[in-house]
A and B are shown apart, each in its own frame.
Chain A
């Protein structure tokens, strides 16, 4: 893949349109990474303001998704993309909807953070949150790598993201068991534990969406649809 995927058309405006599409996805990716980062920090540091900021960022993400969808409709109508261009447009179209969902999950985490901060008032539950930090890091690194793979194709990294999600699922199961032991220890932990379960579930979903993003990148570059074919 020696040529940038959007370049080389005789009609140069077409290059520009595809490039713009690509940049929009990257911008959306950057926003979503920030959103998730803020939500996780807010949860970790009990920073309610930061959590509210994260919730507010989702509007921009949603707006970008709408913009990209409109651009895609225009490109299909005007340029009839084929071959690698067609695969790129399809990959972009699917990627933005996954990015938007990642944004939603991150907002859910921020919302739960706000709830925890308000209700629990700094109860000694940092141990339960330790699991969240670990799976949170995994989700974050998966998401970052997936966006990097979309930006600059890297087959190793793409496979890593796809592999990463399996590890995340295992982590998710282990965390569930772990949280259950806290509940068994003391029933008063139930409320908090349920919130933590919702957070780690959201993170697990984000990992899954990151895997989807990597799969779209594989489709774009290799023309292979590898969804639901993973071992």
Chain B
């Protein structure tokens, strides 16, 4: 009895064997395609085009084919990039790659630079910000900026924050103004440290505090977008961590674009990362995937410290 049982199951196995083998070949080739397509993708990337997801649905800011020239020199070459609502997008790349230039284009800070021409289209909430009738003053209130070196006005802490809302006519009464100053300082995480010294000069604060004061000044005028140009490069690690925590909190209300030379900072604070090289946008993608599996060789080399 038993031997027949065994031979029966053996023949079952051999009957299915060919079919199984065929299936396994098919599956293997599918697997092969899946695994190695990624590698081939990286090998076949053309140097001129941006790889990754540069576009998002319903962007807050959208750039299309942006060229920027300083006189004869082209600083940005045909960059197309979307920035989503409530996201932190970081720009990284070696010095002179055009990341700060593009950042400055987003609130027309380049207008004041002689010989600077911006071509292409940059839209904020579907409105082209480079049209002739656009007034840059309200634009810059909507798109605020924080610079590398903290630059408080030579006035009191209170006045530093109150200045913007006052000139933009955002408040009717003194109490309202005081309220805005307090809430801005609170959101910038500075209120508890300065509430008893509001009449002291802004410049009397420490570097990290000054930078948070500048952020409070920026958010006091109710912006939609905050641009940050290496906001932590003059700060110590503790002050840097405070700013990074602040960026994470501000993301709930604002769209933030940050230029940073610290790749680890980009990895820590941003949801998407854009890598620039010689004026070109090489790669954009989710920060996590850019730092674990960049698509472009140049990105890989830069973030892993192979050139820069």
Give the B-binding residues of A (Cβ under 8 A): 1, 8-11, 14, 80-87, 155, 159, 162-163, 166, 177, 181, 184, 218, 221-224, 226, 229-231
Q: Which of B13-60 touch A at CB < 8 Å?
A: 23-24, 26-28, 30-32, 34-36, 38-39
**A155-B24 in contact given A83-B294, A223-B293 (Cβ < 8 Å):** no
Across-interface contacts of B292 in A (CB, < 8 A): 82-83, 86-87, 223
Instruction: Decide if B24 touches A231 in the complex (CB within 8 Å).
Output: yes
Instruction: Decide if A9 touches B36 in the complex (CB within 8 Å).
Output: no
Instruction: Decide if B35 touches A226 in the complex (CB within 8 Å).
Output: yes
Q: Which of A11, A84, A230 contacts B300 (CB 8 A)?
A: A84
**A231-B30 in contact given A82-B267, A87-B292, A221-B39 (Cβ < 8 Å):** yes
What 4 new A-B contacts, CB under 8 Å, besides A9-B306, A14-B305, A224-B38? A10-B308, A83-B293, A85-B304, A184-B2
Instruction: Decide if A222 touches B38 in the complex (CB within 8 Å).
Output: yes
Across-interface contacts of A1 in B (CB, < 8 A): 39
> B249 near A: Cβ within 8 Å?
no
Q: Which of A8, A82, A159, A221 contacts B31 (CB 8 A)?
A: A159
Across-interface contacts of B263 in A (CB, < 8 A): 82
A231 to B301, CA, bound (A): 34
Across-interface contacts of B294 in A (CB, < 8 A): 83
A221 to B294, CA, bound (A): 12
Some 9 contacts from A to B, beta carbons below 8 A apart, are A11-B305, A83-B293, A83-B303, A155-B35, A159-B28, A159-B31, A159-B32, A229-B31, A231-B24
A224 to B39, CA, bound (A): 10
A155 to B37, CA, bound (A): 12
| Closest-CB distance, A12 to chain B (whole angstroms) | 11
**A83-B304 in contact given A177-B6, A223-B293, A224-B38 (Cβ < 8 Å):** yes
Across-interface contacts of A166 in B (CB, < 8 A): 24
> B264 near A: Cβ within 8 Å?
yes
Q: Which of B6, B304, B307 has the most CB of A within 10 A?
A: B304
Instruction: Decide if A9 touches B31 in the complex (CB within 8 Å).
Output: no
Interface residues on B, range: 20 to 34
Binding site secondary structure of chain B: helix
Instruction: Decide if A231 touches B304 in the complex (CB within 8 Å).
Output: no
Give the A-binding residues of B (Cβ under 8 A): 2, 6, 10, 23-24, 26-28, 30-32, 34-36, 38-39, 263-264, 267, 291-294, 299-301, 303-308
Instruction: Decide if A218 touches B300 in the complex (CB within 8 Å).
Output: no
A152 to B169, CA, bound (A): 67
A9 to B308, CA, bound (A): 10
Q: Which of A10, A84, A159 contacts B307 (CB 8 A)?
A: A10
In the complex, residue of chain A having the shortest beta-carbon distance to the beta carbon of B32? A159
Q: Which of B2, B23, B30, B301 has the most CB of A within 10 A?
A: B301
Q: Which of B23, B27, B34, B305 contacts A9 (CB 8 A)?
A: B305
In the complex, residue of chain A having the shortest beta-carbon distance to the beta carbon of B17? A170
Across-interface contacts of A83 in B (CB, < 8 A): 291-294, 299-300, 303-304
Instruction: Decide if A222 touches B39 in the complex (CB within 8 Å).
Output: yes
Across-interface contacts of A85 in B (CB, < 8 A): 304
| Closest-CB distance, B222 to chain A (whole angstroms) | 37
In the complex, residue of chain A having the shortest beta-carbon distance to the beta carbon of B289? A223
Instruction: Decide if B305 touches A223 in the complex (CB within 8 Å).
Output: no
A222 to B33, CA, bound (A): 12
A230 to B28, CA, bound (A): 8
A166 to B23, CA, bound (A): 13
| Closest-CB distance, B23 to chain A (whole angstroms) | 8
A19 to B260, CA, bound (A): 30
Instruction: Decide if A82 touches B35 in the complex (CB within 8 Å).
Output: no
Across-interface contacts of B26 in A (CB, < 8 A): 231
A177 to B3, CA, bound (A): 11
A155 to B301, CA, bound (A): 23
A163 to B303, CA, bound (A): 35
Instruction: Decide if B31 touches A226 in the complex (CB within 8 Å).
Output: yes
| Closest-CB distance, B30 to chain A (whole angstroms) | 7
